[in-house]
Amino acid sequence: MFKIFICHLFIFLATVNSCSKCKNVYSGKFFYEYGNSKIFIDRTNDYQISKIVVNNQTKRVIYESIKWVDSCTYITMYDFSKMKEEDLLVDINYNGGMKTEIIGFENDCYYYKKTFKLWGEEKIEEGKICPSKE
């Protein structure tokens, strides 16, 4: 009985610690690499601007609204009032946007799993996002 209690306590404490860590990424400057691109994110609690950089040149800027579903999950929708509509992005928004789950931490970085529908097919992207010095 005592072992079961200890196991439940450990799981509870791990969950609380993870949830409090998630709040550390609600806002700030972050980056991640995707293919040969670096993506720099400037995030507030409800909005983010992503700059896609290739060979040290900004190729694109993406504007997204953020809705936090729980402490470690959020949904992003593209904001076409600030950028040109594209069929691919419109389809993602039409299907509910992109759901991002923060699934773990390593030092100051976090791992994510992003799911979204594109042309009726579910897509999954996983990666690591770290604080940016820029």
Residue 20 lies in a domain: yes
pLDDT at residue 133 in the model? 82
Residue 42 lies in a domain: no
Asked whether the beta carbons of 47 and 74 are under 8 A apart, the reply is: no
3-state secondary structure 27-88: CEEEEEEECCEEEEEEECCCEEEEEEEECCEEEEEEEEEEEEEECCEEEEEECCCCCCCCHH
Residue 34 lies in a domain: no
pLDDT at residue 46 in the model? 95
Predicted TM-score (pTM) of the model is 0.81
pLDDT at residue 3 in the model? 52
Give pLDDT tens digits for 12-45.
434 434 457 899 999 999 999 988 999 999 999 9
Structural domain of residue 106, as residue ranges? 2-25+66-131
Residue 54 lies in a domain: no
Residue 14 lies in a domain: yes
pLDDT at residue 13 in the model? 38
Residue 48 lies in a domain: no
Which residues of the chain have a pLDDT value below 50? 2, 5-18
Q: What angle do CA 118, 71, 28 make, to 5 degrees?
A: 80
Q: Say how far apart CA 9 and CA 28 lie, in whole Å.
A: 32
Number of domains in the chain: 1
Q: Say how far apart CA 58 and CA 52 lie, in whole Å.
A: 6
pLDDT at residue 132 in the model? 94
pLDDT at residue 20 in the model? 74
